[in-house]
A and B are shown apart, each in its own frame.
Chain A
C-alpha cells in the first residue's frame, strides 16, 4: 500500500511572509473593544484564504506592534544601562513627551507655534516658585504647572486667531526670549543666577543623583511619555482631532457642515498648553531646580530639529526624531560642537529629501516605487499576449494575469534560443538525445494548449506508411483539420515538420 503524499504548500504572493493567525473556523467572528467605547483595541482583519479556504486573521495596522517593541525595549533595557546612559534615556522620555504634545499643536491644531519651551519654562518656574516660596507640597506643583500652562496658552492663543502661519511662528520665537529677559529681571532670583533651586520632588532628597533616584526618575519620565502619547491618541483620533482633520482638508466645507474649527483649534491649543505646563512642573521636580537655560534659543532650535527630523504632525515622528537628536546630542558628547553640526546636517538632509520627515519615509518610498513601476509599464509598447494594466482589472482570476506575463517572458527567452543549428539538430534526431536549449523549446511546445495543437496522421499500409500533419480543434466532438497537403515518408520527417510549424508559430507570436 502506498503512502499518501502530503501536499506541499509554497508561500506565494507579494506579502507571503506576513504573519497571520489561524483562528478556529467554527468560532464566531469577534474583536475586543475598549471598555466603555466603541473602539477596537487593534485593527484585526478577518478573511478566508482563497486557496486553502481556512480562516485567517491579520493585523492590518501594525503600528501598535512597533510601539510595543520600541517602548517595551526601552523600558526593559533602561534598568541595565549605566548611569550616564540612563540619564540620556530620561532626557529622551521628557523631550519626547514635550515633542508629542507640541506635535499636537503643530500637527492637529495646525498652529505653527515655537513658544513650546516658553510655556514649559514659565510653568516650571511658577511651580518651582510655588513650592519653594509659598510652601506648596510637591504633588500640587503639577496642578500649579498645568494651570500656569493653561493661562500662558490662553495668552499665546490670542494672536493666533488673527495672525496666520509663518507670521505667528516668527512672533512666537521672540516669546521665549521675552520670558528669559523678564525672569532675569526678577531681583529676588538674582543671587542664584535667576534659577530656583532645592525644589521639592517625588525623588527623595538623599536619592537625588543616586542610582535609585535615577531609576525612579526614568520610571516617572517613561510614564510621562506614555501619558503624552495617550493624550495625543485621545485628542488626535477622537472628536476634536477628526474635526481638525476635516478643517485641514477643506476649511470652508468643514465650516459649512457645522464644524467650528477655530474653536476646536483653540481647545487643542489650550489642552496642549496645560499639558506642557504639567511637563514643566515635572521638569522642575526631576532636576530639583529650574534655570534660564529652558528658554534658550539653542534649546528651542534643537527641539524643533527633533520634530522636523521625525516629521511634523505624527506622534511616531516626534519620538523617532527625539531619539535621533538626543542620541547625537547627549550620547556622543565627545564630539563637541561637531554634534550640533551633525544634527543640522541630518535636518537638512531629511528636509531636502523627504516630504514629511523620517516617519513617512516608508510610504514615500512606496509612492516612489509605484510611480516608477507605472511609468515603466506605461512606457512599454510590447504586448505579446501579456495582460495590459487596464484589462487586468477586468480579469477575476489574477493567476491568469501572472501566467500570461510569465508565458510572454518565457517565449521571449525561447525565441533567442531558436537558431539554424538548433533546427538542424532536431532534424537529425527528432527523438533525441537533445541539447539543453532544444529540450527547453520542446518542453514548452509540449505544454501548449489543446486548441490548434498539432498531431500526426498515419495512413496507408504497414511498411508503406504515409504521414501528414493535422491540427486538433480542442473542442470535444469537433474533428481535427488538415494543416497542409504535404505528405511525409518517415515518421521522423513528420516530427520535424511539426517542430518547424511550432517554431514558426513561436517566432510569429
Chain B
C-alpha cells in the first residue's frame, strides 16, 4: 500500500489539512454547476483565490509553471472523483496515438470486471446497463454505432453532462471500486476508517456506506482500489494552501501507479473535499472537427 503510505506521510506533515477537510471546498461550490465544465485556463481558478490565501495562488502558479495550464471543473456533488476520473480516462484513450490498441485494452479490462462484481454479490441486472453505457462510449472512439457519430470531444462532453449516462458510469466505477476492496480485504482493511468519526470500519459496512452510496466522496482507499481495477496511473495534485517549513511553495502529488503498461498518468486536482481534472492545455482543442467552444 505505497499509495497510502505516501498520503499518510503527507498528512502527518500537515495536521491542518485534516482540519481543512472538515469545512470542505465542496460546500462552497454551487450545486448547479454543469456535471463537467469546458476546459478553462488556470487563471480562472487563480482569480478566485487572489483575495484570499496567497499560498493557494502560489500553488496555482506552480502548477501552471509545471505544465498544468488548464482545469476542467466538475460539479461538487460527492461524485466528482469518479466523474473526473471517468472523463479523463475516456478522453485520454480518445486522444492517444494508438487509439485502436488503447480502446481494445480498456474494453478487455472492463470485460473482466463483471466477474468481480458478481463474485461479491452484486446482481447482474443492477449493473449491466451501467457497464454497457461505459463500454459503448469507449467503443465509439473507433467504431461509431449505426446512426450515432464517432466519439469526439463534443460528444464526450455532452455524454458526461447527460445525468443518466454520466451517473451510470459513476455508479459502475463505484461498484467496481467496492468489488476491488471486498475482494482484497487484507490489502484494505487496515485503512478503512469512518470519514467523519475516524473509527475503524468493517469492509462491507465501509463499502456500502462510503463507496456504493451515491454522492459519497472518495478518499485514498477508493482511489487505490479503482486505479488497480482499471489498471491505470493517476496523479493527484494536492492544493492545500500550505507552504513548506522553509517557506518554499510547491504542490505535492500523490501517485497511484497501477498501470500494467508504461503510460502517462491522468492528472487530477484535489482541493479539500473536491476533485477536478488537470490538463496541459488551457482550452478545448479548436482544431477538433466539431468545434463547440
A and B are interacting partners: no
* Chain B residues within CB distance 8 Å of chain A: none
* Chain A residues within CB distance 8 Å of chain B: none
